[in-house]
């Protein structure tokens, strides 16, 4: 199986020993505590689950600035996005060398992790602006990732952490949430050698289904890892439970048996386009996948990124020897009326737009909310029904 990124073995920051975990919980009662932002809590979950291997904790200002500017830490580790514990108020932890980190996404704000504090630094407004513009390729405050990044505060609390749980992800998605180690273990149990990963924050329509099958056949993979984001999204995105149900129905009915692993990970979407595509590659290498599908406008939002910027970054900014995982570069896929099947648009140069079954996201939402069936060339009817129920429920409640 492919090696984890940056080390020979995976080193998740979750404290697996139950007795040690109990002792740390007891210790946390006497420690100064910090209520995390949702983004920082998601970073803790990802550190605990092994997806951020080989990192041990949150970055300080020097590493964060270096990663944003140059895509590597100050000691040379290639890394695409700063991993930060940003906060607006450090009065409660002033002078502390060890602190309890509390979860903002679970009632009662339980302790999520314990952090050894190596530094507490205040970034200037110019520092935060510069990092945001490099990460997201825009300073626009309307960009959801920029807004979240700049809204957390400007104090960086750096240092390694010991993670005591996985926030709400295990309890709300027990059949889907998996750590990088758990995915590696299942890949080994299935005796899969080549695994192609598909990242999604959306339900999968027929084009996505066929893209996974195309990629699997093209790279000779033994199976497909459908790996869905389970954390916080921007307003208007489909909730994770609905996506989960739709994807499971699609796999149940339209994929060969035992050819797909349906899993999810606990992270808040960044909408960082190219930088996030590289981060997604790190996640999947750590989870044991040999290939990652990077499609049109991967991890993008609005019109902030070019359609293939998330593919170009792997050729232009990622060192050739940095990652072992290989990228399957995909074009937009759609049903061809001429050929009667889903194709990649780049493969059918004789087609015009009118030769494809294409629907905008807005039109899809309108049709589903109105109870209007989507074309079967666009979405499997069983999947569309799950989405229709969601949108009609939203319309009925006015949410």
pTM: 0.94
pLDDT on residue 396: 75
Domain assignment of residue 303, yes or no = yes
CA 41, CA 230: separation in Å to the nearest integer? 13
Domain endpoint, select from 167, 195, 228: 167
Any domain includes 12: no
Residues 317 and 202 in one domain: yes
Q: Residue 290 is part of which domain span?
A: 175-265+273-397
For 132, residues 6+ apart whose C-beta sits below 8 A from its C-beta are 139, 146, 149, 150
- Same structural domain for residues 201 and 294? yes
Angle of CA points 174, 175, 177, to nearest 5°: 65
Task: With H, G, I as helix, E, B as strand and everything else as coil, classify residue 57.
Answer: strand
Task: Identify whether 221 is part of a domain.
Answer: yes
Total structural domains in the chain? 2
Residues 148 and 225 in one domain: no
pLDDT tens digit string along 1-12? 999 999 999 999
Q: What's the pLDDT at 237?
A: 76
Report pLDDT digits (tens) over 301-331: 999 999 999 999 999 999 999 999 999 999 9
Last residue of a domain, one of 137, 167, 197: 167
Residues 247 and 318 in one domain: yes
Element (H, E) at 329: strand 326-329
Determine the average pLDDT of the residues in 203-211.
92
pLDDT digit string, tens, across residues 228-281: 999 877 777 788 889 999 999 999 999 999 999 999 999 999 999 999 999 999
Read off the CATH number of the domain in which 155 is found: 3.10.400.10
Would the pLDDT of 225 be above 80?
yes
126 and 236 both lie in a single domain = no
pLDDT at 201: 87
Would you name the residues annotated as active-site residues?
Answer: 201-202
Among candidate residues 115, 147, 167, the one where a domain is terminated = 167
Let me know whether 27 and 143 are in one domain: yes
| Any domain includes 193 | yes
Position 1 in a domain: no
pLDDT of residue 399: 58
Is 75 exposed, middle or buried (CB count within 10 Å of its CB: 0-12, 13-18, 19+)?
Answer: exposed
pLDDT for 398 = 67
> Looking at the domain assignment, is residue 5 inside a domain?
no
Query: Quick check: is 374 in a domain?
Result: yes
Q: Is the pLDDT of residue 368 over 90?
A: no
Contact between 380 and 253 under an 8 Å Cβ cutoff? The reply is yes
């Amino acid at each position: 199986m492919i090696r984890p990124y940056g080390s020979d073995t995976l080193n998740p920051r979750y404290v697996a020993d139950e007795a040690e975990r109990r002792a740390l919980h007891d210790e946390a009662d006497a420690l100064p505590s910090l209520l995390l932002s949702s983004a920082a809590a998601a970073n803790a979950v990802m550190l605990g689950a092994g997806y951020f291997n080989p990192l041990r904790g949150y970055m300080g200002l020097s590493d964060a600035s270096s990663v944003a500017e140059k895509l590597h830490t100050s000691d040379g580790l290639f890394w695409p996005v700063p991993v930060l514990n940003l906060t607006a108020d450090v009065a409660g932890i002033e002078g502390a060398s060890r602190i309890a980190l509390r979860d903002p996404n679970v009632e009662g704000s339980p302790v999520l992790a314990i952090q050894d504090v190596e530094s507490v630094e205040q970034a200037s407004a110019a520092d935060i602006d510069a990092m945001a513009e490099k990460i997201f390729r825009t300073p626009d405050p309307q960009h959801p990732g920029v807004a979240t990044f700049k809204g957390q505060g400007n104090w960086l609390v750096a240092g390694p952490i010991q993670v005591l749980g996985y926030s709400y992800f295990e309890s709300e998605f027990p059949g889907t949430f998996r750590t990088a180690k758990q995915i590696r273990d299942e890949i080994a149990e299935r005796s899969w050698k080549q695994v192609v990963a598909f990242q999604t924050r959306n339900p999968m329509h027929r084009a996505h289904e066929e893209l996974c099958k195309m990629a699997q056949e093209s790279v000779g993979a033994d199976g497909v890892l459908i790996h869905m984001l389970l954390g916080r999204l921007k307003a208007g995105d489909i909730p994770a439970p609905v996506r989960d149900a739709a994807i499971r129905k699609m796999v149940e009915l339209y994929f060969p048996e035992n050819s797909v692993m349906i899993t999810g990970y606990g992270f808040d979407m960044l909408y960082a386009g190219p930088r996030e595509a590289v981060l997604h590659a790190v996640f999947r290498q750590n989870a044991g996948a040999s290939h990652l599908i990077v499609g049109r406008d991967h991890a993008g939002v609005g019109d902030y990124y070019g359609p293939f910027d998330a593919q170009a970054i792997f050729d232009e900014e990622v060192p050739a020897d940095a990652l072992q995982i290989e990228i399957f570069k995909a074009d937009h896929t759609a049903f061809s009326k001429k050929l009667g099947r889903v194709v990649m648009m780049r493969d059918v140069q004789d087609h015009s737009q009118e030769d494809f079954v294409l629907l905008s996201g807005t039109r899809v939402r309108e049709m589903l909310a109105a109870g209007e069936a989507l074309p079967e060339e666009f979405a499997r009817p069983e999947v569309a029904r799950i989405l229709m129920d969601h949108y009609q429920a939203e319309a009925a409640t006015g949410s």
